[in-house]
């Protein structure tokens, strides 16, 4: 995984109202930049409004999310909501919570049967535009190694575990977590500090962001 720091330019800084932001999201949802690489075709999945206070940056949609068009509409999403202690209604309230994955479309399967990485064209094309318009965001949740590599760049550690273990260093802007797949169950048992130390602070900061 190549660490690519988030660009510092603000190509979406001219978006100053929700209508302009909706047009930006419509362009993102109509994106076909990597269509030839997508086995199920393009279906960008993201949700946001300019009023959002929490931004969740994950990896890329899986097949269930591709089918439904609803981000985190799978077991990984159920686990993520448990981590956040957040009900579905709040989670999918885009006035409060923005969801913009590193790859907007399902990337397909790799040779081992797992999902491929997010397409590399996607985040550089859309994240600077969208993030510069989400100027009310108080906390960015970096879910998994791809989001951490892009947003933390050289500040991240060699592994997701080591990066997440240093979570205090990235506050107050960012908070890294592992990806909440089924594999995380064993990871949490090996790293009990995640539940005893990180999750209570995550929930506190999410509640504070949404209340502000």
**pLDDT tens digits along 12-38:** 556 889 999 999 999 999 999 999 999
* pLDDT for residue 212: 87
- Whole-model pTM: value is 0.92
* pLDDT for residue 111: 86
140 Cβ neighbours under 8 A, 6+ residues apart: 55, 57, 151, 173, 174, 175
Q: Where are the domains of the chain?
A: 18-106+114-211
Q: Provide φ and ψ at 91, rounded to 5°.
A: -60, -40
Give CA separation, 54 vs 90, 114, 135, 168, in Å: 11, 28, 11, 18
Give CA separation, 112 vs 159, 178, 184, in Å: 20, 20, 18
Cβ(133)–Cβ(147) under 8 Å?
Answer: no
Strand pairing partners for 142? Answer: 57, 176
What letter does residue 53 receive in the DSSP assignment?
S
Query: What dotted CATH number matches 18-106+114-211?
Result: 3.40.470.10
Q: How deeply is 136 buried, as exposed, middle or buried, from its count of CB atoms within 10 A (0-12, 13-18, 19+)?
A: middle
Element (H, E) at 57: strand 54-57
* pLDDT for residue 114: 84
Strand pairing partners for 47? Answer: 99
Peptide bond preceding 85: is omega within 30 degrees of 0, i.e. cis? no
Residues 69-94: tens digit of each pLDDT = 999 999 999 999 999 999 999 999 99
* pLDDT for residue 5: 47
What letter does residue 167 receive in the DSSP assignment?
G
* pLDDT for residue 15: 83
């Amino acid at each position: 995984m190549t660490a690519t720091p988030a660009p510092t330019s603000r190509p979406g800084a001219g978006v100053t109202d929700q209508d302009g932001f909706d047009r930006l999201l419509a362009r993102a949802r109509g994106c076909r930049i990597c269509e030839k690489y997508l086995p199920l075709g393009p279906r960008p999945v993201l949700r946001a409004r300019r009023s959002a206070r929490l931004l969740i940056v994950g990896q890329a949609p899986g097949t269930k999310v591709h089918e439904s068009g609803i981000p985190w509409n799978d077991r990984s999403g159920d686990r993520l909501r448990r981590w956040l202690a957040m009900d579905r209604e709040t989670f999918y309230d885009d006035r409060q919570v923005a969801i913009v994955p590193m790859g907007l479309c399902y990337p397909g399967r790799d040779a081992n049967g797992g999902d491929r990485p997010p397409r590399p064209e996607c985040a550089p094309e859309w994240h600077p535009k969208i993030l510069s318009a989400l100027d009310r965001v108080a906390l960015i949740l970096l879910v998994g190694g791809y989001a951490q590599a892009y947003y933390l760049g050289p500040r991240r550690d060699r592994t997701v575990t080591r990066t997440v273990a240093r979570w205090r260093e990235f506050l107050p802007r960012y908070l890294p977590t592992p990806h909440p797949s089924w594999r995380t169950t064993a990871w949490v048992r090996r790293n009990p500090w995640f539940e005893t130390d990180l999750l209570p602070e995550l929930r506190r900061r999410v509640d504070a962001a949404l209340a502000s």
